[in-house]
């Protein structure tokens, strides 16, 4: 973890950033967070800073807000820092994973915050930078690390995991019904040569897919998702991050989460529902204060992008938005 981040220099202009990064559900996100950011000295956290599109809009809309931006990707932090340069007096950009939020706030001397945004999943930049290996449509080294400075790559996972472990992550993280078939094919093929490029992995998966299923979507989609989740430990990080985020909120602070696949959304839904439900035992004549819900849900279920946004920004198609406001501190 470090305040401000360096990293490799990418030749991007501000026009490039606007072109490759259209923030998902931007207006709705601003609308939901706005009531908690009106007070003087309010603090908002963008836990997944990315290229800074949501953060830029929040800072423009709220001239008195201080923003803390977190990202594990040093390249994204560098680009977001350029985008937010004019707001540097009221921003702290931190190289950290979002489950490190309590440590980040402690280091910055911030006791509580008024708004928190999570825009989960892989970023526009990570998909568009071919050499990161996130996109199955581009042949590239199988890296897939959101933080390229640490941890095992996807190639290392494919080289070292047993057939059983590969099957497990494809099934659990990719919800792939051909998990066993794909795991067996990978273990067989890696004996001939290392699987270190996305193109070869796609070829192996395509060859292992029964002909009757080849028109049912790209055979690599779910496997690539599963590998990315495993490499970055996305679900275990999220399971720690959402409770920590709720705990960091001030009373009447608000949390907005944008999730792009069902596994993420399930974690978010479970924690928000738990914290928005009374813990009073059945049959009590009155609800004691310590049993009252900590959160109030701000949307019914999960909101989806409308047809207009989907047409304008294809990456909004799978999004599920959930939001909540903190009503009281935990006992």
Task: State the binding site for S-adenosyl-L-methionine.
Answer: 52-54, 71, 98, 119, 126
Helices (H), 133-233: 154-160, 163-174, 179-190, 198-208, 221-232
Binding residues: 52-54, 71, 98, 119, 126
Residue with tokens 């004996």: 191
The DSSP output letter for 41 is T
Q: Does residue 80 contact residue 52 with C-beta atoms inside 8 Å?
A: yes
Q: Where are the beta strands (DSSP E) in the chain?
A: 2-3, 43-46, 66-71, 91-95, 113-119, 249-259, 295-297, 320-326
Residues 6+ positions from 159 with CB-CB distance below 8 Å: 190, 194, 195
CA distance 265 to 296: 18
Nearest Cα residue to 23 out of 316, 268, 220: 316
Alpha-carbon span 176 to 188, nearest angstrom: 19
Q: How long, in residues, is the chain?
A: 331
Q: How far apart are CA 64 and CA 96, in angstroms?
A: 25
Q: What does the block give as tokens for 118?
A: 């999570």
How far CA 281 is from CA of 133, 195, 290, 327, in Å, comes to 51, 55, 12, 20
> What is the C-alpha separation between 44 and 5, in angstroms, rounded?
19
Q: Are 28 and 303 in contact (CB under 8 A)?
A: yes
Pairing of β 320-326 and β 43-46:
unpaired
């Amino acid at each position: 973890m470090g305040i401000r981040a360096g990293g490799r220099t990418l030749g991007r202009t501000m026009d490039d950033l606007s072109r490759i990064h259209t923030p998902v559900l931007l207006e709705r996100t601003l609308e939901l967070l706005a009531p908690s950011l009106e007070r003087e000295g309010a603090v908002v956290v963008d836990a997944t800073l990315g290229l800074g599109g949501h953060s830029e809009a929040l800072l423009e809309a709220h001239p008195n807000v201080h923003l803390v931006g977190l990202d594990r990707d040093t390249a994204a932090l560098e680009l977001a820092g350029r985008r937010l340069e004019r707001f540097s007096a009221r921003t702290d950009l931190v190289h950290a994973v979002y489950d490190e939020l309590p440590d980040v706030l402690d280091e910055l001397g911030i006791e509580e915050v008024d708004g928190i945004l999570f825009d989960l999943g892989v970023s526009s930049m990570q998909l568009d930078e071919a050499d990161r290996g996130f996109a199955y449509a581009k042949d590239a080294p199988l890296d897939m690390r959101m933080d390229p400075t640490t941890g095992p790559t996807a190639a290392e996972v494919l080289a070292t995991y047993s057939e059983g472990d590969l099957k497990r992550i494809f099934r659990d993280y990719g919800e792939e019904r051909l998990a066993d078939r794909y795991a067996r094919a990978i273990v067989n093929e890696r004996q001939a040569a290392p699987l270190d490029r996305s193109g070869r992995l796609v070829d192996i998966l395509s060859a292992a897919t029964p002909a009757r299923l080849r028109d049912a979507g790209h055979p690599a989609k779910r496997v690539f998702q599963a590998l990315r989740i495993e490499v970055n430990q996305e679900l275990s990080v999220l399971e720690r991050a959402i409770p920590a985020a709720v705990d960091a909120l001030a009373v009447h602070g608000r949390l907005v989460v944008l999730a792009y696949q069902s596994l993420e959304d399930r974690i978010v839904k479970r924690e928000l529902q738990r914290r928005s439900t009374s813990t009073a035992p059945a049959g009590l004549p009155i609800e004691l204060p310590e049993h009252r819900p900590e959160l109030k849900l701000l949307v019914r279920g999960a909101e989806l992008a409308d047809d207009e946004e989907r047409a304008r920004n294809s990456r909004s198609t799978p999004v599920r938005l959930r939001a909540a406001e903190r009503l009281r501190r935990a006992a």
